[in-house]
Amino acid sequence: MPRSVVARFAAPLFAIALLAGCATPPPADDKEAMMEWDQNNDPLEPMNRAIFDFNQAVDKALLKPVAQGYGAIMPQYGKDRVRDFIRNLRAPVVFFNDVLQGQPDRAMQTLMRFAFNTGFGIAGLIDVAEPGGIPYHDEDFGQTFAVWGIGEGPYLVLPILGPSNPRDGVGIATEWLVDPFNLYMDHIDRSWPVWTRAGVSGLEKRERLLAPLDEIERSSLDYYSALRSTYRQNRNAEVKNALNPTGLR
């Protein structure tokens, strides 16, 4: 089942790319315009903007209101439990990526967290490891590919999923295919837990991003460009694990 979903998304994406075409690069003798073009890293901008507009429409009509409702109704305690549970479910993927990135210490942290939280934290509902001194960190296949030296490729806006690039997009698909939870559900022929989990983690993420995205939209003139720049810079910092101030000398 998870395989067919990837295939189902790939085909229309390719079709839209063909329809929308590419942006025209500036003339080669205009060095500064060329630099700006390279820096934006967005040769598929017309297609990306079309998907971005589609995403914005879906977000305004559905995703954002639902996330706002969840944010307003769910008490903080409940939100924390959902977040902890979703994080714990992803621990095998994080562990796998820690290992693939050659980070045994971080892999051990993730493993210990998974053991403690699954065992003592009621199947991961309560993060008991963090107060116990093993902090959470995130990893994904996109970051692993980056550590392996694979470039991000051109900026890509994915339908519903939003800002990405070929490297991170392949990372998302890889995660979907190798996640033990998905594999197990596939094996016992149950698809609803996979979709429920995807829905809940998407909702949880959108709720967390309500304020930051509103901030970017409000303070920018061209939301698309501001978001593209923010995503690429933030992603770059994540790859370098640079968002951890305790690692400061």
Partner 1 sequence: MLSRRILLLSAVAAATCLHVPSIAFAVEVKARSFIQDLADTAMNTVAVKDLSDAERALRFRNLFVNTFDLPEISKLVLGRYWRPPTTAEQRGEFQKLFEDIQVYTWTRRFKEYSGETLDIFGVEPDASGDSLVVSQIRRHNLAPINVSWRVRKDGETFRVVDIIVEGASMIVTYRSDYSGVLSSQGGKLDSLLAVMRQKADQLKAGS
* Binding footprint of partner 1 on the chain (CB under 8 A): 32, 36, 39-40, 76, 208, 218-222, 224-226, 228-230, 233-234, 236-238, 242-243, 245-246, 248-249
Please identify, using beta-carbon distances, which residue of 57 and 214 lies nearer to partner 1. Answer: 214
Q: Using CA atoms in the order 152, 155, 158, 164, what is the torsion angle rounded to 10 degrees? A: 40
What lies within 8 Å, CB to CB, of 196 at 6+ separation is: none
Contact 49, 73 (CB under 8 A): no
Contact 117, 129 (CB under 8 A): yes
The nearest distance, CB 35 to partner 1, in angstroms, is 8
- Are 224 and 231 a contacting pair, CB within 8 Å? no
Nearest to 94 by CA among 57, 55, 137: 137
**Residue number, 103 or 241, with CB nearest to partner 1:** 241
To partner 1, the closest distance from the beta carbon of 238 in angstroms equals 7
**Of residues 201 and 220, the one with the C-beta less far from partner 1:** 220
Taking the complex as a whole, how short is the minimal distance between the CB of residue 126 and partner 1, in angstroms?
A: 16
Please identify, using beta-carbon distances, which residue of 196 and 233 lies nearer to partner 1.
233
Give the CA distances from residue 55 to residues 49, 150, 195, 249, in Å, rounded to whole numbers and listed in that order: 10, 27, 19, 41
At closest approach, how far in Å is the CB of 31 from partner 1?
9
